[in-house]
Amino acid sequence: MSASSATPGTVYGVGVGPGAPDLLTLRAARIVETADVLAYFAKRGRRGNGRTIVEGLVRPGTEELPLLYPVTTELPVGHPDYERMILGFYEDSAAAVRRLAEAGRSVAVISEGDPFFYGSFMHLWRRLRGVVPVEVVPGVTGMSGCWTRADVPITWGDDILTVLPGTLAEEVLAARLSMTDAAVVMKLGHNLPKVRRAMIAAGLHGRAIYVERGAMAGERVMPLADKTDDDAPYFSMILVPGEGRRI
């Protein structure tokens, strides 16, 4: 049978949760265990957090498709070379996954956290839906993993929660932080000094919590006030727990 005449396989965007191997859902675990091909995003030369999370579930001999970012933080978002390289990367990745599905193979694309919440899988989903069968499996978000590890409820009663990428401008961060009850600032990395200044401007610095690699190996949790250096990995975030109605 030629590849083009096979019943297409399904492409799964599988949320694998915040980091601990037992925080996958039952559905995600079953798909990782049974898919014909396991695809995952990673930085060149690294294995990637997502692939590491599912290590114990992969059948020996499973075909793997590493999708290696040509660039991550070496170039700023918006730089023409970054845009060009990352566009080509997603086009090529979608084409590779599509070819497998069209040949009748099911492909599980590993997504840290939840695929539809700032996930790289969305760039494949956008290109593949309507072309081959695509199914998304929601996962525990990285932020849920972090507030659980920090042992703080994030929202009480009628609290408003604002989720802010640390990449935003300082004045935007400060303005939005000053108008919310609870906040999560993601994508920290080299944005930490700017985010810290915004937290101070919004009067939230004293109740903010810094979480590095929450629910992963090497986890650190501390009051932001105790995080005096500016060295934060991309997988770190700041939480501002809400203080709403406690019954």
Contact 247, 153 (CB under 8 A): no
CB neighbour class for 24 (10 Å; exposed up to 12, middle 13-18, buried from 19): buried
Residues that bind its own copies (CB under 8 A): 15, 17-18, 20-27, 29-30, 77, 83, 86-87, 90, 114-119, 122-123, 125-126, 129, 136-141, 144-145, 147-148, 151-165, 167-168, 176, 179-180, 215, 245-247
Residue 212 falls in which region: left (phi positive, over 0), alpha (psi -120 to 50) or beta: beta
CB of 191 to its own copies, least distance (A): 11
Residue whose CB is less far from its own copies, 60 or 130? 130
Rounded distance, CA 138 to CA 110, Å?
Answer: 11
CB of 153 to its own copies, least distance (A): 4
CB of 149 to its own copies, least distance (A): 9
Helix (H) or strand (E) holding 80: helix 80-102
Residues 6+ apart with CB under 8 A from 46: none
CB of 224 to its own copies, least distance (A): 19
Residue whose CB is less far from its own copies, 106 or 180? 180
Residues 6+ apart with CB under 8 A from 65: 37, 38, 39, 40, 96, 97, 100, 107
The residue behind tokens 């997504």 is: 111
Rounded distance, CA 23 to CA 15, Å?
Answer: 10
CB of 60 to its own copies, least distance (A): 20
CB of 114 to its own copies, least distance (A): 5
Residue whose CB is less far from its own copies, 1 or 77? 77
Residue whose CB is less far from its own copies, 109 or 168? 168
Residue whose CB is less far from its own copies, 32 or 39? 32
Residue whose CB is less far from its own copies, 136 or 188? 136
The residue behind tokens 């961060």 is: 173
